[in-house]
Amino acid sequence: MIENLDWNIGRVLQTLDDLGIADDTMVIYFSDRGDTARESREDS
């Protein structure tokens, strides 16, 4: 999973570079930690 995420973020960054907008673009990644939400439902 991490390898896939890393590869796809690399694709985004490369595309920004190819378009010439990488220096003017901020990429922000958020994770919702959905795996822990499932665990808390099972405890209820």
Give the model's pLDDT for residue 41. Answer: 57
* The model scores a pTM over 0.85: no
| Distinct helix (H) and strand (E) counts, the chain | 2, 0
Give the model's pLDDT for residue 1. Answer: 74
- Nearest 10 degrees: Cα torsion 15, 21, 24, 28: -20
Give pLDDT tens digits for 23-44: 999 999 887 776 666 665 555 5
Q: What percent of the chain has pLDDT over 90?
A: 52
Examine the pLDDT at 17 and tell me if it is beyond 80. Answer: yes
